[in-house]
Amino acid sequence: MEQSAGHITKEQRSHIWLIALVILCLAIFAYDYFYNKPSTDDLAFLFGYNFAIGLVIWAVFCVALGRKHGKKHAAISFLAIFGSLIASGLIGYSQHKTAMIKAATEIQKEYSSLLGSTTDSQGLPKRIESKINTTPTTKGAMGEMERFIKTFMNQMASERNDYLLELEAIGWEKILDPERVKADKTLIQSKTMIQNAKDIVAKYRHRTSTLLDKTRKDISNLDLTESLKQEMRNGFDRGMTKSSSQIDAMWDYEAQIVCEFENIFTLFSERRGKWGVQDGQILFVNETDLKAFNLHLVSIQELLRKQEAIQKQSIEAFDRNMNKLKN
């Protein structure tokens, strides 16, 4: 018997359904893989996220083409759609994780190199001569975030260099040099140096705060999705909640160090004639003045130790966070 024109058989409908399903699954895979990757490392979230999307797509597909094909075809179509979403998600997850590990490793390497150039062979602070190459080693969102973090590290290094340069310009490293103190008979030069140091500490404390505020705002200009930008801002805010007190403490200790030097020169001024410079040493006539002088030096050393402890904690926290990204 000849088939009437315009009539579609059950077999043809199945072929159309199958072709449509294959095309849909390929389209889902391509779109989800290239354009719709959720930013997460949580596999449970990934399955739940794709399950919800799969249900919606499956419902639309069934309404459009699957109403006459029964429960078996409906089940097959759902598994195919959900499978396409999961496959693209898992591949994207794997690539995202690989990029994250690569970026974190590179940032750790650059950070370690930066720290290694902050002191000289005697352990004294020195300017950081080299700059971090901000070109990312990864692509996409992780590359953009890697570039952002490296840029921030360069900015912090630049601030530190400027701070040390200004202290160097006022001769701060020679504040207690015996020959300089001996030449400063009125102690006017010393008092001017101390006031300048106070101003420099206050200036760079404010600049640090300004840089951190600017960095948070700069997240909005990154080439990332709005959801990723918000995640970065949330992470930045959580990190600053923990580290802002440490930053404040570092600058508090820096200001206290300057005050201890001021106390030393107050002692010199009040006990004029009871001390002097001989054979490259500052000597005191009586033991009480010597003890007072040494106590100020001990206080300075204790403040420096507190700064070193904060720096150590910050380095350890940074390494822990980078290692979490890689695990």
pLDDT digits (tens, 9 = 90+) for 6-58: 555 555 555 455 555 556 556 655 555 555 555 555 545 445 544 455 445 54
Q: Mean pLDDT, the chain, as a whole number? A: 78
**Whole-number percent of the chain with pLDDT over 70:** 67
Assess whether pLDDT exceeds 80 at residue 214: yes
CA gap 13, 202 in Å, rounded: 78
66-93 residue pLDDT tens: 444 445 555 555 555 555 665 565 556 5
Q: Give 130's Cβ-side CA count (13 Å radius).
A: 13
Identify the pLDDT of residue 268.
97
- Local confidence band at 183 (pLDDT 50, 70, 90 cut-offs): very high
Identify the pLDDT of residue 305.
92
More confident site: 87 or 133: 133
Identify the pLDDT of residue 319.
75
**Whole-number percent of the chain with pLDDT over 90:** 38
Assess whether pLDDT exceeds 90 at residue 323: no
DSSP 100-133: HHHHHHHHHHHHHHHHHTSB-TTS-B--------
The answer, as to whether pTM is greater than 0.85, is: no
Assess whether pLDDT exceeds 80 at residue 221: yes
Domain boundaries, the chain: 10-97, 170-326
246-255 residue pLDDT tens: 889 999 999 9
131 sits in the region (left: phi over 0; alpha: psi -120 to 50; else beta) called: beta
3-class DSSP assignment, residue 70: helix
Run of H or E residues at 281: strand 281-284
Run of H or E residues at 287: helix 287-326
Assess whether pLDDT exceeds 50 at residue 1: no
Query: Average pLDDT for residues 276-292, to the nearest whole number?
Result: 95
